Amino acid sequence: MGKNKKKLIRLSFLIFFIAVFIFLLIKSSFFNIKSINVVGNYLVSKEEIIALSDVLEKNIFLISKNRITENIKNNPYIEEVRIKRKLPATLEITIEEKKIKGVLKLNNSFVNIDNEGRMVQALDTFPHDKVFIIEGINVKEYIPNEYVSKDKNVLESLKEVLKVCEYTKELGIISADLRDLENIKFKTKNNLVIDVGDCSNLDYKLGYARTIIKSKLVNNKSGVIEITSTGIAVFKKQ
């Protein structure tokens, strides 16, 4: 028997055993997914993510990461999905959720919006004490992941307003009015209006407003604090 023929036989046996091994991997329940670890979820429950993935008891080598990602992203709160196989039968799904920063009124309901000004989910009731309401932007219908406005100036101002949402709890801000982009107004639960002008230097302006609100000048009075871009602030009692 020639050397070439022997090599061909060895190669044939090798291919055969590899094929058998792959067949066993595919057919064996040993590699069926038994456990799914979910990491990074806060708003969306682990159970919902597992249900959306739809991979329990499926072979870990045959699942499609792209399909799982698409399925999980059917939940409007999901921004990114990362999937890792852990042999023999565990899947790790890491979730990055959208950052809910505000709420818009839509007819008789509300719409959550993320930090980019995109619509996330329609709500029947207002989520009190969690985010503030954005006024002055007219949304006609809820379209998931669509920006609330096609006007670049409106979106730019909205994004800047949403960036300072950490002040909402500290100052008691419950709403932001963007009807006039040159005179953006924040309203607090104590019926105090903070007029910050345009969207420039909002961190500085609200920081200044915080100092004034805590001073004896305001002392829980209702009224208007007008803050200019140059840092001049005036409190007008109602």
> Rounded to whole angstroms, how far apart are CA atoms 238 and 61?
69
Beta-carbon count within 10 A of 170 CB:
11
The pLDDT score that the predictor gives to residue 93 is: 97
Q: How far apart, in Å, do the first and last CA atoms of the chain sit?
A: 107
The pLDDT score that the predictor gives to residue 28 is: 74
Task: Tell me the mean pLDDT in the region 180-208.
Answer: 91
Task: Tell me the mean pLDDT in the region 50-68.
Answer: 94
- Split at pLDDT 50, 70, 90, the class of 49 is very high
For 32-97, the fitting CATH number among 3.10.20.310, 3.10.20.30, 3.40.30.10, 3.20.20.70 is: 3.10.20.310
Mean pLDDT for the chain overall: 87
Beta-carbon count within 10 A of 235 CB:
17
Per CATH, the number for 100-237 is 3.40.50.10960
- Split at pLDDT 50, 70, 90, the class of 229 is low
68 vs 212, more confident: 68
Task: Tell me the mean pLDDT in the region 76-93.
Answer: 95
pLDDT reading at 202 higher than 80? yes
The pLDDT score that the predictor gives to residue 41 is: 94
Count Cβ atoms within 10 A of the Cβ of residue 63 and give its class: 0-12 exposed, 13-18 middle, 19 or more buried.
middle
The pLDDT tens digits for 1-37 are 566 666 777 777 777 677 766 666 667 788 899 999 9
The pLDDT tens digits for 117-169 are 999 999 888 876 568 899 999 898 999 899 999 999 999 999 999 988 777 77
Contacts with 64 (C-beta within 8 Å, 6 or more apart), sequence order: none
Pairing of strands 90-97, 119-123: unpaired
Nearest CA to 165 among 117, 214, 120?
117
Domain boundaries, the chain: 1-30, 32-97, 100-237
> Rounded to whole angstroms, how far apart are CA atoms 44 and 97?
8
Alpha helix segments (H runs only) across the chain: 3-27, 46-53, 65-72, 152-163, 167-171, 202-213
Q: Which long-range contacts (CB under 8 A, 24 or more apart) does 217-220 make?
A: 218/192, 220/190
Tokens coding 229? 């871009």
The pLDDT score that the predictor gives to residue 77 is: 93
Half-sphere exposure at residue 214, Cβ-oriented, CA atoms within 13 angstroms: 8
The pLDDT score that the predictor gives to residue 130 is: 66
